[in-house]
């Protein structure tokens, strides 16, 4: 049988290692030219398919593809774009199928989080029963670590490492300055609902009394009085207090602490909790308080990515192609943990229908009794995910990240209007 082309796209908030998954997809596909002809990437995720804006990855050198493994961001562009309502969807799916047919696409690889796996699942449903089947495989990615079935989500380990490391470093700073200057430091951590990233900050502590002294997790109801009492206790015992706070903590009335604009998925755009908490501490306790909001720095910090995470991100990219070639469909490679120590894992299949639109929060047994820390069980789970450094190459003192050529594939279809998208062809 003549080999078909594959479509690959990146979706949702990017990470330090989503390009490592892309590398896994491209390298594995290239090793099977009798089954996969070319890999076309969608420019800006699914939008690239809907607007027939495809990138021909076959023109990229082997070295460029290999360099994806150490490059943050999303090499082909990502998107926050949810497929429309059922009626709109019908038109959009028809359009997808039209594009797939026009470009002889037999494989659909979609790399993203829970929302994106929903897209993959829907596409797999729509193409069922077509004369020209399209194999649909999801590839997990989310710094939030909230995907179900998979033991962890590629992208998370690197953010976890960055945050635990940054908090440890900042804590050395605060400990040095505490007697005449700052004695409270607040680090704001991404994570809308799930506290995995905030929990990972707990890894910075090796010994009793080490920072962080408080975690403010989105899973734990915020209680100002208890928070202030805990901070005072830390100040009494350690002369300083280092706090990691999730951007997703809510006020007692259920509103986000820092409610702002909404993103394209209709989720609240958060950020800016740390200055509010710092202000509260300043006013109520009279401390000199510093705060940091690393924002995108945390999810793009490829320079200090977890080697474990890079390996897993690469592995799920490879596994996705292997599953497709093995005739599997509507599945996602998931990480399965075989052992905590020594840490070992492999990849297994997860049905997309079970992954789509699910969200895995921190389990109660990972949260300490007072709600302000993590348990030993959490440490056992988290610890292996940040192990190993996978430094990128440096040039002139800075990481030498790759920019692909991203050559467009010639269009074969008339342009269509895409709801909610203001790209060139809309």
Stretch 289-348 residues interacting with a second copy (CB under 8 A): 290-297, 299-304, 306
Total residues at interface with a second copy (CB under 8 A): 77
| Tokens (6 digits) for 109 | 């690889």
- 44-73 residues in contact with a second copy (CB under 8 A) are 44-45, 47, 71-73
Residues 252 to 281 in contact with a second copy, rule: CB under 8 A: 261, 263-264, 269, 271-272, 275
DSSP E strand boundaries for 24-77: 36-42, 54-56
Q: Which of 91, 175, 325, 348 binds a second copy (CB under 8 A)?
A: 175
| Minimum separation from the CB atom of position 312 to a second copy (A) | 14
Single out the residue of 309, 280, 107 nearest to residue 186, CA to CA.
280
What is the distance in angstroms between the CA of the first residue and the CA of the last residue of the chain? 36
* Interface pick for a second copy out of 229, 255, 391, 407 (rule CB under 8 A): 391
Backbone angles phi, psi at 354, to 5 degrees: -85, -15
Q: Which residues contact 296 (CB under 8 A, 6 or more apart)?
A: none
| Position among 24, 42, 77, 373 found at the interface with a second copy (CB under 8 A) | 77
Give me the least distance between CB of 62 and a second copy, in Å please. Answer: 21
- Interface residue with a second copy among 93, 100, 185, 257 (CB under 8 A) is 185
34 binds a second copy (CB under 8 A): no
Per-residue binding letters, 368-387, with a second copy (x by CB under 8 A): ---------------x--xx
φ, ψ of residue 10 to 5 degrees: the values are: -110, 140
DSSP-derived secondary structure for 65-107: HHHGGG--S-TT---------HHHHHHHHHHHHHHHHHTTEEE
* Closer by beta carbon to a second copy, 66 or else 348: 66
Q: 172: exposed, middle or buried (C-beta count within 10 Å: 0-12, 13-18, 19+)? A: exposed
Check binding of 35 to a second copy (CB under 8 A): no
SS3 at position 245: strand
Which of 166, 183, 312, 347 binds a second copy (CB under 8 A)? It is 166
- Catalytic, out of 144, 146, 239, 370: 144
Nearer to a second copy, 178 or 328 (CB): 178
Q: Which stretch binds a second copy (CB under 8 A): 91-99, 314-322, 390-398, 408-416?
A: 390-398
Residues 230-249 that bind a second copy (CB under 8 A): none
Q: Are 272 and 133 in contact (CB under 8 A)?
A: no
Q: Is 144 an active-site residue?
A: yes
Give the dihedral sign, CA 374/206/144/112.
negative
Tell me the chain's radius of gyration from C-alpha atoms: 23
From 9-17, 91-99, 113-121, 315-323, span contacting a second copy (CB under 8 A): 9-17
Q: What is the spatial distance between Cα 305 and Cα 160, in angstroms, rounded to a whole number?
A: 9
- Which of 270, 275, 298, 248 lies closest to 184 in space, CA to CA? 275
CA distance 231 to 7: 51
Sort 24 into a burial class: Cβ within 10 Å, 0-12 / 13-18 / 19+: buried
204 counts as binding a second copy under rule CB under 8 A: yes
| 388 lies in the binding site for a second copy (CB under 8 A) | yes
Min dist CB 356 to a second copy, Å, is: 20
- 180 touches a second copy by CB under 8 A: yes
Place of tokens 């680090």: 187
- Residue 165 interacts with a second copy (CB under 8 A)? yes
Shortest distance (Å) from residue 255 CB to a second copy: 19
Provide, rounded to whole angstroms, the least separation between the CB of residue 309 and a second copy: 10
Minimum distance from CB of 234 to a second copy (Å)? 17
Structure tokens at 418: 């895409």
CA 126 from chain centre, in angstroms, equals 26
Query: CB-wise, 106 or 155, nearer to a second copy?
Result: 155
The helix (run of H) or strand (run of E) holding residue 49 is helix 46-50
Q: Is 168 in the site for a second copy (CB under 8 A)?
A: yes
Residues 125-164 within binding reach of a second copy (CB under 8 A):
161, 164
CB of 361 to a second copy, least distance (A): 24
Residues marked active site are found at 144
């Amino acid at each position: 049988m003549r080999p078909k082309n594959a479509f690959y796209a990146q979706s949702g908030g990017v990470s330090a290692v989503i390009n490592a998954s892309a590398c896994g997809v491209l390298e594995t596909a290239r090793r099977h030219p009798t089954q996969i002809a070319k890999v076309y990437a969608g420019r800006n995720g699914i939008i690239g398919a809907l607007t027939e804006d495809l990138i021909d990855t076959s023109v990229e050198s082997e070295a460029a593809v290999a360099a994806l493994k150490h490059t943050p961001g999303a090499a082909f562009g990502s998107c926050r774009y949810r497929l429309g309502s059922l009626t709109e969807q019908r038109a959009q799916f028809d359009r997808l199928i039209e594009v797939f047919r026009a470009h002889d696409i037999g494989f659909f690889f979609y790399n993203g989080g829970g929302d994106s796996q929903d897209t993959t699942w829907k596409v797999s449903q729509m193409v069922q029963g077509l004369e020209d089947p399209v194999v649909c495989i999801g590839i997990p990615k989310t710094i939030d670590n909230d995907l179900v079935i998979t033991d962890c989500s590629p992208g998370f380990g690197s953010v976890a490492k960055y945050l635990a490391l940054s908090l440890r470093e900042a804590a050395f700073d605060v400990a040095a300055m505490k007697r005449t200057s700052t004695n409270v430091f607040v680090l704001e951590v991404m994570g809308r609902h799930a506290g995995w990233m905030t929990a990972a900050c707990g890894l910075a502590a090796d010994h009793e009394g080490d920072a962080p002294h408080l975690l403010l997790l989105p899973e734990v109801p915020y209680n100002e009085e208890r928070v202030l009492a805990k901070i005072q206790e830390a100040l009494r015992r350690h002369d300083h207090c280092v706090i990691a706070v999730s951007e997703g903590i809510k006020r007692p009335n259920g509103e986000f602490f820092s409610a702002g604009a909404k993103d394209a998925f209709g989720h609240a755009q958060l950020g800016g909790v740390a200055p509010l908490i710092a202000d509260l501490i300043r006013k109520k306790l009279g401390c000199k308080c510093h705060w940091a909001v690393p924002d995108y720095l945390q999810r793009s910090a490829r320079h200090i990515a977890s080697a474990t995470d890079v390996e897993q991100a690469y592995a799920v990219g490879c596994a996705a192609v292997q599953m497709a070639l093995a005739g599997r469909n509507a599945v996602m490679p998931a990480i399965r943990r075989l052992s905590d120590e020594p840490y070992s894992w492999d990849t297994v299949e997860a049905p997309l229908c079970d992954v789509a639109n699910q969200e895995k929060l921190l389990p109660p047994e990972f949260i300490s009794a007072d709600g302000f820390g993590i348990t030993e069980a959490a440490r056992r789970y988290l610890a292996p995910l940040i192990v190993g450094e996978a430094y990128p190459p440096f040039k002139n003192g800075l990481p030498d990240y790759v920019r692909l050529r991203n050559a467009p594939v010639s269009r074969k279809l008339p342009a269509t209007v895409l709801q909610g998208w203001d790209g060139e062809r809309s």
